[in-house]
Amino acid sequence: MPVLEVKKLQQIFEQGTPNENHALKSIDLSLNEGDFMVIIGGNGAGKSTLLNSIAGSLPVSRGQIKINSQNVTYQNVAKRSRLISRVFQDPKSGTAPLLTVEENLSLALHRVEWRNFWRTGVKKSDQALFREKLAQLGLGLEDRLTTEIGLLSGGQRQAITLLMATIETPSLLLLDEHTAALDPKTSATVMELTDKLVKAQNITTLMITHNMDDAIKYGNRLIMLDHGQIAVELNAAEKKGMTVPKLMQLFKERSGKELNNDAMLLG
Ligand SMILES: Nc1ncnc2c1ncn2[C@@H]1O[C@H](COP(=O)(O)OP(=O)(O)OP(=O)(O)O)[C@@H](O)[C@H]1O
């Protein structure tokens, strides 16, 4: 049984106007439990639109989205967030800066909104779990439970955001260029951590990246979007022998043009 099923998904912006834009043109996707699919593509190819549609932050024009066989197409973001965790590009967006590391983790574990935090506080019984989870990151954060998140570096914050997103295993994890704002070394560390967490919990994952090396190295599936369509789709076996030049060539053959993305790191 697939965890995520996307059927004939269409996203049309400014419909009926001279600026009508078919950002997604009948996308079909199916992810089984533990699948880790990487999404790459040129500027404006539809990558963010696809993730926004799946997360529910963008109402779909046509088509259907199912998670665990449940039709979520018309569910709002809040309702879908019981099934979906999402990590964004900006390390500041996933955590509350004035709360401590343990307070942030507590919010994630108990799914409490930060506004209601004063009512619950951090349970003593959770602290051992937080220390253990933080130690697994290998960044020494287990000794900083009471440090305000805002005082940590971007990489440390993004690692904690990942931990928060996976502290309760989500049905689906959406990674929206979550390493793009980090320096290359920190980005590599956070990518390794991501892979470790995803594998350890067998989390079904969709990740947008502009880093072609990461796109090839991580995950068991890969799609390349072009003008709202899937131009290239690779399975685990096809991904194994892939290189950046081969992938660029494949894209050119299938789409009839060169990959055009200002932010793309070609490795
Ligand atoms: N809210 C919106 N209203 C109108 N058009 C939009 C909206 N969001 C996206 N678009 C358009 O939809 C198309 C796909 O955009 P999207 O942001 O999904 O591309 P992307 O693949 O994520 O690109 P990039 O790598 O440049 O971020 C683009 O033509 C974009 O201008």
CB 223 near ligand 1, within 6 Å:
no
Domain contains 65:
yes
If one counts the domains in the chain, the total is 1
Domain contains 117:
no
Q: Per-residue pLDDT tens for 142-199?
A: 999 999 999 999 999 999 999 999 999 999 999 999 999 999 999 999 999 999 999 9
Distance from Cα 49 to the centre of ligand 1, integer Å: 6
Q: Residues of the chain with pLDDT > 70: what percent? A: 97
CB 44 near ligand 1, within 6 Å:
yes
Domain contains 86:
yes
CATH of the domain at 181: 3.40.50.300
Domain contains 24:
yes
By DSSP bridging, strand 229-234 and strand 221-226 are antiparallel
Domain contains 122:
no
pTM attached to this predicted model: 0.94
Q: Is the pLDDT of residue 119 over 60?
A: no
Q: Per-residue pLDDT tens for 233-257?
A: 999 999 998 999 999 999 999 999 8
Q: Which residues contact 93 (CB under 8 A, 6 or more apart)?
A: none
Distance from Cα 48 to the centre of ligand 1, integer Å: 7
ipTM, 2 decimals?
0.98
Span of 19-23, 27-31, 113-117, 174-178 with lowest mean pLDDT: 113-117
Q: Which segments of 93-211 does DSSP mark as H helices, in order?
A: 101-110, 117-120, 124-137, 154-166, 184-201
| Boundaries of domain holding 79 | 4-98+148-255
Domain contains 118:
no
Question: Which atom of ligand 1 lies closest to the CA of 49?
Answer: 18
